[in-house]
Amino acid sequence: MADSTVYRASTTAPVNIAVIKYWGKRDPKLNLPTNSSLSVTLAQSDLRTHTTAACSTLFPAGQDTLLLNGAAQDVSGARTQACFRELRALREALEAQDPQLPKLAQQPLRIVSENNFPTAAGLASSAAGFAALVRAIADLYQLPATPTELSRIARQGSGSACRSLFGGYVAWEKGTAADGSDSLAYEVAPASHWPDMRALILVVSAAKKGVSSTTGMQATVATSSLFAARANDTVPARMRDMASAIKAKDFAAFADLTMKDSNSFHACCLDTSPPIFYMNDVSRAAVRAVEAINAAAGKTVAAYTFDAGPNAVVYYAAEHEAAVAGAFKAVLAGTEGWSGARGEAVAADEKAAACVDEKTAEALREGVGRVILTGVGEGPISVLEHLVDERGEAVKA
Amino acid sequence: MADSTVYRASTTAPVNIAVIKYWGKRDPKLNLPTNSSLSVTLAQSDLRTHTTAACSTLFPAGQDTLLLNGAAQDVSGARTQACFRELRALREALEAQDPQLPKLAQQPLRIVSENNFPTAAGLASSAAGFAALVRAIADLYQLPATPTELSRIARQGSGSACRSLFGGYVAWEKGTAADGSDSLAYEVAPASHWPDMRALILVVSAAKKGVSSTTGMQATVATSSLFAARANDTVPARMRDMASAIKAKDFAAFADLTMKDSNSFHACCLDTSPPIFYMNDVSRAAVRAVEAINAAAGKTVAAYTFDAGPNAVVYYAAEHEAAVAGAFKAVLAGTEGWSGARGEAVAADEKAAACVDEKTAEALREGVGRVILTGVGEGPISVLEHLVDERGEAVKA
């Protein structure tokens, strides 16, 4: 008798924001980076992708599908196909070892995903998306793979996705093998080691998206005369120093490296031909505000970092919430995003905000469309709330 | 009988805008640079300093003075003192050789200068200022020194001033001697070799001046991890390529190197701790406009470059005036500065401007306060119009 079960597994996966940036591929097809990177995984209560992977002989043969926030996505791209192919191969190996196992690898996949944050916010949702996709299919297939083993697969979907398979503080070692077998993510420290790390995201109302990171990083590798120094010398030293700072919970060292590495990355973008500008005058106002807050505190209590867009992510330790988040809340009192539990817990601190000059404050008020308050968090979590029902139909969470 | 003559000599000196940028000192006291640089001297009909150097026993003993645009300047700074000291030493050597010569080296100096452009425009007037000061005193003292010999002295006043002792296309070789004796400027090609080079300066209405270049470049040397690659590898190669491009009158190669080097310099500023931002969203709009003009032309007809501030200098060849200056005039029709002879000769070209998207045009209209149309020009010129009268009093030009 034919097996008409709808097999399902669901997971949530987090966003991560790098403090040592990934920029440049030595192998674009395998997503192998020119340098290692290191990130902080952010709490899923604030930002996460929820994904259900289902498979069934009931689904139309040969048709894998992916629904994201209710919209059908193209799964024919090389990146998604690489993830499907690698995961099926691992399942096939299991099935070959144990003939009792249901033959899931042959069944069509139905993937349904939902983000709890606006895709338009430019929050690199592909990292959470591919981490959730890989983790959910691995769970569906009951693969015994560790997160580091799965990171090899998630990396092929989206480079930074490999880091979202872990919580806390995560390194992606570039590796040296041509096949990418040693380009993997590892836990540097769990969230519980340094749980007080907070992140305030200033979502800049950018008129349009800039150069895609895939296109941009290849242009940098091809044309920047400064990039080799970053990849070969600057980043390896910073990877060591950042791991030490995290292990020692040394916020000032963490912050110094975070800001320097963000600036180094954007410097290489500017040194690209034609130049790539991700930061704008609003981003620069965020830099000035963080500098003013640190100067007023007499020590480094906040660190900015910018990905491939104008949004600022400001890291700070919980003990300095008033000086950092309190100052930004006073400046950006009218901005959307303070209404969640974390935002309401922050008291606007006019005194702390006094160090931010009026021009900088004005630029932030005009340019920041939304704030997101979050902090370090856990890696992917298996959940029983499925986005595909027992008959195989997509459902809303 | 005492000599009561008022000895006078007057000169005008030009501004220069580097296409391979000077950034970083290996010796701050002697203004010795970490890398060579190369500039285009701009026409003095548009931008110049007019300086008269006078000396007389009638002037109060021991009191050298400098009047700039009617305002007394402090001459006690090490840079001005170095120029006075070096020039006096050369005069003393002459006087020692020929006892018939009047003893000018001992007499107090009265220097009077006027710029024909607003100092507030952020046009690096110190280069023209120190070049004029050194040239005028050298003429007053009747020194047989060549411009290259004088460049050693002007460099100690303001690094880039050494390039303003020449017209046309000028290299400042960094040199290697500890005493700076070989850190000198040379003519790469006279203005007459490639007279068609034009420059459109977009003066950005910046709210306030950023980090001074003296402070900024030292911070870059001390903190940027990418800067060494620029100084040691990138610039030496570009100096050779740029000299070749100028000799061949190859505008596309000149433009490519100019834009890359400006971006490389600003990348190193961004890689400084704390980061230095000279370019703003208006500067970036100028970059976008030049990129659009080049794309529309199907070849490189314009090159942007930015010094230590948001102003854009756009180089183009006279044959492409319509495509470049014509496009900018159409976009910036209401902006001050088109009323001079050069500006009136440019016809606003709406068709050429069509490639500039509305958002970019709007940013330029909002941010550019003034345009200056100029081109490659001659070096310092001796003039008989003195800013000090026969009795030693300062007069207006």
- pLDDT for B363-390, tens place per residue? 999 999 999 999 999 999 999 999 999 9
Q: Across the interface, do B225 and A207 touch by the CB < 8 Å criterion?
A: no
**One domain, residues B183 and B241:** no
Nearest CA in chain B to A287: B275
Within a domain: residue B94?
yes
Q: Between chains, do A268 and B226 touch, taking CB under 8 Å as contact? A: yes
List per-residue pLDDT tens for chain A, 397 residues long. 578 899 999 999 999 999 999 999 999 999 999 999 999 999 999 999 999 999 999 999 999 999 999 999 999 999 999 999 999 999 999 999 999 999 999 999 999 999 988 765 567 688 999 999 999 999 999 999 999 999 999 999 999 999 999 999 999 999 999 999 999 999 999 999 999 999 999 999 765 667 888 899 999 999 999 999 999 999 999 999 999 999 999 999 999 999 999 999 999 999 999 999 999 999 999 999 999 999 999 999 999 999 999 999 999 999 999 999 999 999 999 999 999 889 999 999 999 999 999 999 999 999 999 999 999 999 999 999 999 999 999 997 6
A226 closest CB neighbour out of B267, B284, B291: B267
- Determine, yes or no, domain membership for A248: yes
| CATH of residue B12 | 3.30.230.10
Nearest to B260 among A229, A273, A359 (CB): A273
Residue type, B395: V
Contact between chains at B280 and A281 (C-beta distance less than 8 A) = yes
Q: Which domain holds residue A219?
A: 197-375
Whether A238 and A346 share a structural domain: yes
Residues A181 and A205 in one domain: no
- Global pTM value: 0.94
Q: What chain A residue is nearest to B256 in terms of C-alpha separation?
A: A273
Q: Are residues A75 and A219 in the same domain?
A: no
Residue B278 CA to residue B211 CA, distance in Å, equals: 8
* B27 and B173 inside one domain: yes
One domain for residues B212 and B314: yes
- Residue A330 included in any domain: yes
Q: Is A181 contained in some domain?
A: yes
B380 within a domain of the structure (yes/no): no
The answer to whether position B396 is within a domain reads no
8 Å CB contact of A229 and B234: no
Query: Using CB atoms, which residue from A224, A275, A284 is nearest to B277?
Result: A284
Q: For residue A128, what is the enclosing H or E element?
A: helix A125-140
Nearest CA to CA, how far is B363 from chain A (Å)? 12
CATH number at residue B342: 3.30.70.890
Contact A275 B263 (CB under 8 A): yes
Q: How far is CA A313 from CA A37, A119, A309, B240, in A?
A: 17, 17, 11, 42
Minimal CA separation from B385 to chain A, in Å: 45
Residue in B closest to A256 by C-alpha: B273
Any A CB within 8 A of B359 CB? yes
Per-residue pLDDT reduced to its tens digit, B64-121: 999 999 999 999 999 999 999 999 999 999 999 999 999 999 999 999 999 988 765 5
β-sheet bridge partners, residue B114: B50
Q: State whether residue A260 sits within 8 Å of chain B by CB.
A: yes
- Picking from A175, A190, A205, the residue at the C-terminal end of a domain is A190
Residue B90 lies in a domain: yes
> Which residue of B227, B260, B271 is the best one to mutate when testing the A interface, meaning the one whose CB has the most A CBs within 10 A?
B271
**Domain shared by B181 and B210, yes or no:** no
Q: Does A287 touch chain B (CB under 8 A)?
A: yes
Chain B neighbors of A234, CB-CB under 8 A: 225-226
Domain contains A392: no
Q: Are residues A92 and A214 in the same domain?
A: no
Query: For B226, phi and psi rounded to 5 degrees?
Result: -100, -20
Residues B212 and B321 in one domain: yes
Tokens of B132: 């004029």
**Smallest CA–CA separation between B274 and chain A, in Å?**
8
Contact B267 A263 (CB under 8 A): no
Same domain, B267 and B131: no
Q: Does B4 touch chain A (CB under 8 A)?
A: no
Is residue B258 within 8 angstroms of chain A, CB to CB? no
Report ipTM (2 d.p.): 0.92
Is residue B158 located within the same domain as residue B218? Answer: no
d(C-alpha A29, C-alpha A200), whole Å: 34
What total of structural domains would you count in chain A?
2
Domain boundary, last residue among A190, A219, A244? A190
Q: Do B264 and A274 touch (CB under 8 A)?
A: no
HSE-CB at A114 with a 13 A cutoff on CA atoms is 12
Q: Which of B225, B260, B274 comes nearest A233 by C-beta?
A: B225
**Residue in the block written with tokens 């600057």:** A234
Which of B126, B159, B190 terminates a domain? The answer is B190
Mutate to test the interface with B, among A256, A259, A271 (most CBs of B within 10 A): A271
Output the 3-class SS for chain B. Answer: CCCCCCEEEEEEEECEEEEECCCCEEECCCCEECCCEEEEEECCCCCEEEEEEEECCCCCCCCCEEEECCEEECCCCHHHHHHHHHHHHHHHHHHHHCCCCCCCCCCCEEEEEEECCCHHHCCCHHHHHHHHHHHHHHHHCCCCCCHHHHHHHHHHHCHHHHHHHCCCEEEEECCCCCCCCCCEEEEEECHHHCCCEEEEEEEECCCCCCCCHHHHHHHHHHHCCCHHHHHHHHHHHHHHHHHHHHHCCCHHHHHHHHHHHHHHHHHHHHCCCCCCCCCCHHHHHHHHHHHHHHHHHCCCCEEEECCCCCCEEEEEEHHHCHHHHHHHHHHCCCCECCCCHHHHHCCCCHHHHCCCCHHHHHHHHHHEEEEEEEEECCCCEEECCCCECCCCCECCC
Q: Does A267 touch chain B (CB under 8 A)?
A: yes
**Which of B225, B263, B284 shows the shortest C-beta gap to A264?**
B225
The answer to whether B300 contacts chain A (CB < 8 Å) is no
Amino acid at A260: K
- Let me know whether B145 and B230 are in one domain: no
Is B8:B53 a contact under the CB 8 Å cutoff? yes
Kindly state whether B10 is in contact with chain A, defined as any CB-CB distance less than 8 angstroms: no
Interface of A with B in 316-335 (CB under 8 A): none
Looking at per-residue confidence, does B356 or A210 come out higher? B356
Nearest CB neighbour to B291, from listed A225, A270, A274? A274
CA A32 to CA A184: how far, in whole Å? 10
